[in-house]
């Protein structure tokens, strides 16, 4: 099927085309899953939260304003679902992101240096407040604008800029030995 | 390294590391899982389905109208029952021979003087 815009898929979904829902999940699912992992730090919990969020968005799609961008709207729902699941499961904030679970899931061909980098990145992310983790990831990894992130997190744009700056600075300090290799 | 923390543009190195670190596996399986859940959940809620309070609000007006109709019907029934009850009591008091049809057939209160005279006159 040819590339179809979000607005076209949403119109189809509202009209009852369930295939359109699958297309939207395929398109936005990876970013949603990464976002949920930032909050929940456990891949299985994160996928549960993303599924909850996607189904909530599916049921609420008729209330979505098509004049606004779809992705921030969807990500906000996913973020709320992840935070809600975290509250329900009482996941401890101090558990390092991508800890034992990530190592257990690593494929055998991963090199030792890469595993070390992942471990260091997990530790570095764990030092950041959740909002800063989300902000820097959405900005640097997902390509969101400061304004989109501000709307998603419901904070002023200046706060997002500050969060991104501080998070990026901390990550660069903690990952300095690796950045020259991968950069 | 040309990128610094003050840069207003996305940092490609940090971004690549984060994407790799948070990388999601088996996305096709995840898509299938969510679609299956949507199909199962579709029995309870379709795309764009209303929240419960909106659904309840839709039932509110017909519910009020039905309750009002039942209430009015009950009032009419009670009123007619009371009126019918008084007629039956009157008929029982007078007895078959003492209850002229013209008195019982009407739904207005009988004239007490007519009733009294009929009772005093006897059968």
Neighbours of A4 (CB within 10 A): 14
Residue B55 pLDDT exceeds 50? no
**ipTM given for this complex:** 0.77
Residues of chain B found within 8 Å of residue A180, distances taken between Cβ atoms: 1
User: What does the alpha-carbon distance between residue B123 and residue B118 come to, in Å, rounded to a whole number?
Assistant: 8
The answer to whether the CB atoms of A26 and B27 lie below 8 A apart is yes
Spatial CB neighbours of B104, under 8 Å, sequence gap ≥ 6: B87, B90, B91
What is the C-alpha R_g of chain A? 17
User: What does the alpha-carbon distance between residue A57 and residue B41 come to, in Å, rounded to a whole number?
Assistant: 13
Question: Terminal CA-to-CA distance of chain A, rounded, Å?
Answer: 36
Q: What is the pLDDT of residues A17-73, one digit of tens each?
A: 889 999 999 999 999 999 999 999 889 999 999 999 999 999 898 888 888 889 999
Residue B56 pLDDT exceeds 50? no
Would you list the domain boundaries of chain B? Answer: 12-45+53-121
Residues of chain B found within 8 Å of residue A125, distances taken between Cβ atoms: 21
Q: In chain B, helix, strand, coil percent, each to 5?
A: 65, 0, 35
Closest residue of A to B16, CA-based? A141
Residues of chain A found within 8 Å of residue B22, distances taken between Cβ atoms: 33-34, 37-38, 98, 137, 141
- Find out whether A39 and A130 touch, Cβ atoms under 8 Å: yes
- Using CB atoms, pick whichever of A18, A34, A59 lies closest to residue B49: A59
Residue B95 pLDDT exceeds 90? no
pLDDT at A83: 92
Least confident of A6-15, A78-87, A137-146, B98-107: B98-107
- Dihedral over alpha carbons B68, B71, B77, B81 (to 10 degrees): -160
Torsions phi, psi of B107, nearest 5? -105, 15
Mean pLDDT of B26-31: 92
pLDDT at A80: 93
Q: What is the pLDDT of residues A124-179, one digit of tens each?
A: 999 999 999 999 999 999 999 999 999 899 999 999 999 999 999 999 999 888 87
Tokens 């309750």 locate to B67
Nearest to A53 by CA among A43, A61, A41: A61
Domains of chain A are 1-91 (1.10.1740.10), 96-183 (1.10.10.10)
Chain A interface disruption, residue of B1, B7, B24, B46, most A CBs within 10 A: B24
SS3 category, B42: coil
User: Model-level pTM greater than 0.80?
Assistant: no
Q: CB-based contact (8 Å) between A22 and chain B? A: yes
Q: CB-based contact (8 Å) between B55 and chain A? A: no
DSSP state of B107: S
Q: Find the helix packing angle between A70-89 and A18-40, rounded to 10°.
A: 50
Tokens found for residue A38: 């930032």
SS3 category, B73: helix
Closest residue of B to A166, CA-based? B5
């Amino acid at each position: 099927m040819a590339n179809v815009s979000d607005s076209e898929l949403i119109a189809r979904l509202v009209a009852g085309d369930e295939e359109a829902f699958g297309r939207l999940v395929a398109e936005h699912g990876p970013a949603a899953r990464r976002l949920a992992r930032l909050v929940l730090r456990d891949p299985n919990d994160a996928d549960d939260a993303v599924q909850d969020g996607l189904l909530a968005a599916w049921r609420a799609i008729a209330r979505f304003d098509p004049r606004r961008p779809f992705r921030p709207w969807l990500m906000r729902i996913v973020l709320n679902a992840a935070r809600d699941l975290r509250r329900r499961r009482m996941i401890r904030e101090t558990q390092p992101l991508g800890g034992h679970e990530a190592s257990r899931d690593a494929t055998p061909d991963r090199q030792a240096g890469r595993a070390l980098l992942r471990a260091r990145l997990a530790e570095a992310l764990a030092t950041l407040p959740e909002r800063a983790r989300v902000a820097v990831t959405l900005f640097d990894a997902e390509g969101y604008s400061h304004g989109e992130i501000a709307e998603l997190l419901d904070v002023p744009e200046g706060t997002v800029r500050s969060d991104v700056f501080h998070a990026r600075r901390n990550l660069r300090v903690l990952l300095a030995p690796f950045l020259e290799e991968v950069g | 390294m040309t990128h610094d923390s003050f840069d207003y543009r996305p940092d490609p190195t940090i971004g690549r590391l984060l994407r790799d670190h948070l990388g999601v596996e088996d996305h096709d399986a995840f898509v299938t899982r969510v679609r299956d859940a949507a199909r199962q959940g579709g029995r309870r809620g379709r795309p764009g389905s209303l929240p419960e309070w909106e659904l309840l609000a839709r039932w509110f007006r017909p519910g009020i109208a039905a309750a009002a109709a039942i209430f009015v019907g009950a009032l009419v029934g009670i009123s007619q029952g009371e009126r019918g009850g008084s007629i039956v009591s009157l008929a029982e008091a007078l007895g078959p021979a003492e209850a002229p049809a013209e008195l019982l057939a009407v739904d207005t209160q009988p004239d007490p003087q007519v009733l009294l005279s009929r009772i005093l006159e006897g059968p």
